[in-house]
Structures are given as structure tokens and as C-alpha cells.
Amino acid sequence: MIQETLLRKAVFFAALVMLLPLPIMQYVGEESWYTLSAYEMFVNHKWWHQTLMGFDLAKTPLFNWLIIAVAEVIGWQHLEIAPRIISVLSTWGSAFVVYKMARRFFPQRMHTPWLAALIYLTMGEVSFWYGWLGYADASFGFFIFSAIACLWIAIEDEKLTWFLTSLLLITLAFMIKNSSCYAIFGLAGIVLLQRHHRWRLLLNPLFVIPGLLALAVPWAYPAYIIKLGSNGDDAIAHALLNFTGFGIFDYIYHWISYPVLFIARAFPVTLLLIWFFWREKQRYSMDNNMLTLLWILLICLAPFWFSAGGTPRYLIPFYGIFALLLTGFTLQLDHKKMNVVFKTMLVIIILKIPFSFAVLPYIKDWRPERDIKVVVEDILQTTADKTVRTRNNVSTGLSIMAYMDVRMPPEQHIRWYDGKERQVFILSYARNADFGTVVKSYRLRGNDVFLYWQP
């Protein structure tokens, strides 16, 4: 059996390497979308309205608040790092929940909680991408997973305090992103009520009334808290888009590929367990807790699985649950196979170092026409102290704006060009004679960037 001290050290090492890409990478994908919105909230002091270039995004504000809090500590000049720190802290939080639940599920083995946390932290999707990326998904996943864990304890032990804690956590998940968290939470609750034969709790007003109040939050938030200043939550509309406009073959492909994607992106332990089953005739069994974990995965993933447009981002809240299930299977291995699993996880941790310092920066930033900061410096030198506006809402344009905004006085932050202002520079992703004269043009990450002067 693997020594607990070795597992503990490996967990801390895996947690620390999560930090490596944070100061190295330039903006990736939608990260600038979040930081720009947070910066606008901070500058405009509209704490309940998440806006982008002045447009109301109809989003909840908690992730912005966290970005602002971190940016105030580390400095706004490091704004791109702020959401990544939040993601890493959320990933660590999820690993802690995995640790605590593993202690509950497998109390007979003292080393198991550390093994479970290590399995989670070395999952490919967690370690190499969403576990550190400055999107809201890691935080959203943390609050959902934590809420389900607390709900499990509340239902199994019939503890009201744990139920109230789960409601608080799922409300925070809503405040991070959108109301889809309630669907996952509700489906998990149905599984837990059935598996633990606790349907009688639905007759207890101490459980029912707080639950109904929590479910009212997505409606009360736009109606009363921000007083109709937003269009409300769009999670239902987005969910319906995953079912519309697709052919039968799109559905069939998604039904086959989605679980394969989930298993593959949870490597390496998933692939090793499959290999042992296939090549070495390893057989696995499941106790009641593992069966409950499996049912939660199947039922909660069903809406995303049976659609045709569910993306890997929807899987983030489920990796903690999957890690607990994988832990149960891993504990059934003999000493030799267990060592193979442990050494493979160590290899994943070590690979994260060159991945963070060389591989990912080369793919995203170092190749020709990839360096956003070079373009930003050139634009700043060209525009000097003149007003800058934008008609560029693609990811590269937003990243340029995010770097420029923190270098400019707050009152001069870049806004959407209204078509009326004169004596301004305008950023655009397309040629438009109405914007004036093209001063500079760039090819950046597959997109065109034009800098116009509107006399």
C-alpha cells in the first residue's frame, strides 16, 4: 500500500503546480471577457450589474466581485491573473471536498482521502486546463459539487444544518454563473432521496420552506435585487439551444462521444482502470455509496448527454463526483497495480511543469501572430493620450482592450463606439469606411485587428 506521507506530498505538489501557468500565459479565450466586465464594474461602481462595453450582460455578479477583490490585492496591472487565482482556489476547494467525502465513504483506510484528492488534482481536464483557467467554470463547479456533498450528508443523516449549507452553496453557484446549477442540484437531490429512502423529508417544513426560498432566488434576483435592471437569467434559453438545429446523426454522435470525452479527459486513472479491466482481467465491484455516485453522474449528466450541443465545460462540476467513484475502484487494485496508478499520477504532475513553461505558451503565445502584448504596446504608442473606442467584440479584441484599460486612467477606459464621436481611435475586427482612416492593421490569433482614426 502507498504510504500516506507520499500521497500527502504528492497532493501538495499537484496543488502547487496548478499555479504555474498563471503568470506566464497571456489572455486565453474568454478570460478577457470576465476581466473587462469586472473592471467596468469596479470603475463604474455598478456592483449588481455585470456589463461589457456598457452593455448589460444579464449575468450574476459574484465572479466579478471575486476578480475585483483579488485584483485589489495583487494590483490591477496583473488583472489577467486574478480570475486564474480564483479558479485555482476553487480547484483546491473541490479537492478538499473530495478529501472529506472520501473519508466519509472509505473510513477503513486512512490514506484514502489523500488518494482521492490526488486522483482529482491529476485529472487531465482539471490539471491542464479548467482547473486554472480564468473562466467561471471552476468556481461554478466547486459550489455545485460542494452543495451536492452537503446535500448528501443532510439527506443521509437528516441534518438541517447541512441542508441549509447546501442551499447557501447552490445559491453561490447561481451568483457565480447562472441558474442551471439548480437543475443539477435538484436531480442529485432526487437520487439521494431515493437511494437513502428519505422521501419523508419532503413533508418536513424545516426542509421544504428553505428549499422553496432558495429556488426563488433566480426569480427574485432580477425582479427585486437589481430591480429589472437586467433581462434576467438566460440559462434556459441556452439549454434549449443544445437541442435545436441538429440532425439525428448529430445526436447519435454526441450520445456516443460525450461519455467517451468525459472518461478520456479524466485521464490518467480512468484509462489505467480500463486497461486493467481489459488486459489484466481486473474486476470491480461497487458498494452502496459508489452506486449512488454513479447514479448521480448518470442522472445529472443526462440533460447534457442527451442533447446534441453539450460542451466539455458542462462536465466540470462532475469531476469531483467522478474522482470519488474512481477512488472506490482504485482501492480494489492489488499493490502492484496501485503503484502503477500512483507513479502515473506523479508523471502527470511532472509533465505539468514543461506544459506550463513551454508547451502551452508556445501553442498560445509564442508562435507568429500570437503575441497580444506586442500589439497592445504598438497601439498604445500610436494612440498616445487620445480617446480609444471599440467595435471589436471578438476574443482578441477584448484581450487588447483588457490590457489597455489597466494602462489608462479609469475614466478613459475603452467604450463601445456609438458612431457619433469624432477625434477618436477605433478598434475593429473588420474594415469599415464609416470608421475613418486605417492607421494600423494586425493579424492576431486568426483574426484581423484594425485601428482607425476618426477625424
Residue 231: per-residue pLDDT: 47
Which residue, among 414, 411, 451, 413, has the nearest Cα to 435 in the 3D structure? 451
Distances, alpha carbon 237 to alpha carbons 214, 233, 234, 242, in Å = 21, 9, 5, 9
What φ, ψ does residue 56 adopt, rounded to 5°?
-70, 125
Contact between 145 and 317 (Cβ < 8 Å) = yes
Which residue, among 176, 170, 174, has the nearest Cα to 150 in the 3D structure? 170
Distances, alpha carbon 436 to alpha carbons 123, 230, 416, 442, 451, in Å = 50, 34, 16, 17, 10
Give the containing element (helix H, strand E) for 261. helix 248-265
Contact between 94 and 140 (Cβ < 8 Å) = no
Residue 1: per-residue pLDDT: 66
Contact between 134 and 34 (Cβ < 8 Å) = yes
Give the containing element (helix H, strand E) for 450. strand 447-454
Which residue, among 85, 77, 117, 82, has the nearest Cα to 99 in the 3D structure? 117
Tens digits of residue pLDDT in 307-357:
888 888 889 999 999 999 999 999 999 999 999 999 999 999 999 999 999
DSSP structure class, residue 387 = E
Contact between 142 and 93 (Cβ < 8 Å) = yes
Residue 229: per-residue pLDDT: 45
Distances, alpha carbon 94 to alpha carbons 99, 146, 313, 394, 454, in Å = 9, 7, 16, 32, 50
Q: Which residues of the chain have pLDDT under 70?
A: 1, 226-237
Cα angle vertex 121, ends 115, 124, to 5°? 120
- What spatial distance separates the first Cα and last Cα of the chain, rounded to whole Å? 74
Residue 412: per-residue pLDDT: 85
Q: How far apart are CA 339 and CA 333, in angstroms?
A: 9
Residue 35: per-residue pLDDT: 96
Contact between 339 and 414 (Cβ < 8 Å) = no
**What is the pTM assigned to this prediction?**
0.94
Q: How far apart are CA 338 and CA 323, in angstroms?
A: 15
**Domain boundaries, given as residue ranges, for the chain:** 4-358, 372-454
Q: How far apart are CA 275 and CA 259, in angstroms?
A: 17
Q: How far apart are CA 181 and CA 232, in angstroms?
A: 15
DSSP structure class, residue 315 = G
